[in-house]
């Protein structure tokens, strides 16, 4: 069972590396959003450094959504989803493997790239490591929640928009605690640990719920 | 209880039963609204601090309770769809979602009108306001999902999964005023140690809450009947198109 899980994970990672529109596009999209903000709000460094954690989190959220609509759709189209459903590996674990591959090719990279992009937004150096840490802990939740929407709309032709409408409200708690953890690291009322632990809890719940709900959604038509 | 649910699984029994029940329910709703509106506008005192604006409460609070109650009903129906495959569960969930969205919007709007004179702002991003707003968005997403998938059976199961996942927001709304120290006042009716609202205001509020509840039940049953009839027409049309080749 572990072998099947790892094989699926490996396959999805290879696909995201070799097929255009994979992980590098996610990073470029992330960079684009960050570059757009100074044009929109003006290049004042004080303002930018104050809203930098929020911008980076929103950019991460949008960049995560980007790859999600193809998460199950591509498999539904070429029939590999039917193979996965017949396989001995429980569909919940298959969904988990796909979620893990998606996170490795998006969330993890975003967390690693965030400090460099923080420089562009004159983020305070003290906040860079905490910001990366919050993204590392929080983005699995974004992937897992997004996977539910992706699974629900897997067989629709233009499910991307509907999927975003469904999952964005559910991603709000992650966003709230992610940004408040970064703000706490910059000095505030609460210690950094509290919102970070909440963020970890949200991620763990979201992973379990996401695996279960997306598997249920993929089994919808039988 | 189980036998009643099983008997209602037959849509025809449900249609007959609700046809007899609906006029009585509608009459009761009208009576409760007449009593509730009289009590809340004429017979209850103005607040010593808020003046007459406190009367917004008699619409705002019942709408807020209903917004959460209806979502809970949808989540239970979702279980009915996924676990027991009850044929009416999906009809109940599908027709409750637009009603729930309406009551949530009513709650947000009256809250906003009440907030303007009391807090000095139409809207603040406070814990409870935000979580009710998220509930409204979840309702809209749910309605969009139900309408997008063509096959009724698949739409039902997709919406059921979404409804259960979104149910996490309900406890967040309920306890938001206890978890975060916010502008919105904490629970004042359903709390340990009894309600902190004065009886002269509690009674009108309860009558209005009952009126709103029966309004919802009436509208929901009527709309479930419509949905059942609509599905019958769809089935008949499909059968006809199959038997009569063009």
Burial class (CB in 10 A: 0-12, 13-18, 19+), B193: exposed
Taking a contact as any Cβ pair under 8 Å apart, which residues of chain A between 16 and 55 contact chain B?
none
Question: b/e string for A159-171 if b means 16 or more Cβ within 10 A?
Answer: bbebbbbbbbbbb
Asked if B141 is an interface residue toward chain A (Cβ–Cβ < 8 A), one would say yes
Q: State how many domains chain A has.
A: 1
Instruction: From first to last of the 222 residues of chain A, give the pLDDT tens digit.
Output: 788 889 888 988 888 888 766 677 888 888 888 888 888 888 888 888 888 888 999 999 988 888 788 888 888 888 888 888 888 889 999 999 999 999 998 889 899 998 888 888 888 888 888 899 999 999 999 999 999 999 998 888 777 788 888 899 889 888 888 888 888 887 766 788 888 898 999 999 999 999 999 999 998 876
Q: Which of A85, A79, A92, A107 is nearest to A23 (CA)?
A: A107
Q: Show the domain range for A100.
A: 2-221
pLDDT for the residue numbered B154: 85
Contacts 24+ apart (CB under 8 A), B29-34: B29/B211, B29/B214, B29/B215, B29/B218, B32/B207, B32/B210, B32/B211, B32/B214, B33/B211, B33/B215
Question: Rounded distance, CA A202 to CA A183, Å?
Answer: 18
Q: Which of B169, B142, B14, B150 is nearest to B78 (CA)?
A: B142
Residue-wise pLDDT for B167-189, tens only, equals 888 887 777 766 665 667 776 76
pLDDT for the residue numbered A188: 67
Residue-wise pLDDT for B134-151, tens only, equals 899 999 999 999 888 888
Residue A219 CA to chain centroid, in angstroms? Answer: 23
- Nearest chain B residue (CA) to A222: B154
φ and ψ of B186, to 5 deg: -70, 175
CA distances from B185 to A143, B174, B176, B201, B224 (A): 35, 12, 10, 16, 36
Complex ipTM value: 0.82
Q: Does A217 sit within 8 Å of B141, measured CB to CB?
A: no
Residue-wise pLDDT for A73-111, tens only, equals 888 888 888 888 888 889 999 999 999 999 998 889 899
Domains and CATH numbers, chain B: 31-184+197-243 (1.20.120)
pLDDT for the residue numbered B192: 59
Indicate the pTM of the whole model. 0.86
Taking a contact as any Cβ pair under 8 Å apart, which residues of chain A between 144 and 163 contact chain B?
148, 152, 156, 162
pLDDT for the residue numbered B223: 94
Question: Rounded distance, CA B128 to CA B174, Å?
Answer: 8
Asked if B152 is an interface residue toward chain A (Cβ–Cβ < 8 A), one would say no
- The stretches in chain B having pLDDT less than 50 are none
């Amino acid at each position: 069972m572990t072998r099947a899980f790892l094989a699926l994970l490996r396959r999805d990672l290879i696909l995201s590396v070799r097929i255009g529109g994979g992980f590098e596009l996610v990073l470029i999209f992330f960079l684009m959003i960050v570059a757009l903000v100074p044009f929109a709000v003006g290049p004042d460094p004080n303002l930018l450094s104050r809203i930098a954690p929020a911008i980076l989190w929103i950019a991460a959220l949008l960049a995560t959504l980007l790859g999600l609509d193809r998460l199950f759709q591509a498999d539904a189209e070429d029939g590999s989803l039917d193979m996965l459903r017949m396989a001995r590996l429980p569909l919940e674990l298959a969904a988990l493997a796909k979620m893990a591959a998606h996170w490795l090719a998006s969330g993890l990279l975003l967390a690693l790239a965030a400090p460099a992009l923080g420089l562009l937004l004159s983020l305070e150096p003290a906040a860079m490591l905490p910001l990366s840490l919050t993204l590392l802990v929080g983005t699995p939740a974004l992937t897992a929640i997004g996977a539910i929407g992706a699974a629900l709309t897997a067989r629709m032709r233009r499910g991307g928009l509907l999927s975003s409408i469904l999952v964005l409200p559910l991603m709000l708690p992650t966003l709230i605690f992610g940004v408040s953890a970064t703000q706490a690291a910059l000095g505030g009322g609460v210690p950094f640990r509290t919102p970070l632990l909440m963020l970890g809890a949200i991620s763990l719940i979201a992973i379990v719920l996401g695996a279960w709900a997306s598997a249920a959604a993929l089994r919808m038509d039988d | 209880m189980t036998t009643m649910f099983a008997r209602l699984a037959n849509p025809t029994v449900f249609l007959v039963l609700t046809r007899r029940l609906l006029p009585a329910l509608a009459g009761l709703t009208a009576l409760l609204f007449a009593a509730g509106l009289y009590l809340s506008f004429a017979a209850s005192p103005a607040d010593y601090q808020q003046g007459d604006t406190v009367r917004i409460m008699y619409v705002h609070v019942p709408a807020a309770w209903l917004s959460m109650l209806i979502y809970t009903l949808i989540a239970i129906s979702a279980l009915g769809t996924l676990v027991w495959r009850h044929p009416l569960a999906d009809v109940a969930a599908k027709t409750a979602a637009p009603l729930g969205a309406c009551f949530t919007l009513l709650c947000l709007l009256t809250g906003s009108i009440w907030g303007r004179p009391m807090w000095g702002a139409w809207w603040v991003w406070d814990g409870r306001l935000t979580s009710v707003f998220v509930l409204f968005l979840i309702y809209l997403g749910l309605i969009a999902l139900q309408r997008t998938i063509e096959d009724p059976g698949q739409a039902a199961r997709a919406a059921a999964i979404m409804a259960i996942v979104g149910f996490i927001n309900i406890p967040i709304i309920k306890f938001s005023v206890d978890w975060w120290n916010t502008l919105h006042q904490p629970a004042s009716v359903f709390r340990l140690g009894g309600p902190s609202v004065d009886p002269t205001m509690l009674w009108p509020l309860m009558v209005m809450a009952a009126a709103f509840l029966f309004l919802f039940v009436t509208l929901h049953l009527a709309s479930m009947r419509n949905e059942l009839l609509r599905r019958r027409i769809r089935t008949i049309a499909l059968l006809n198109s199959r038997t009569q080749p063009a």
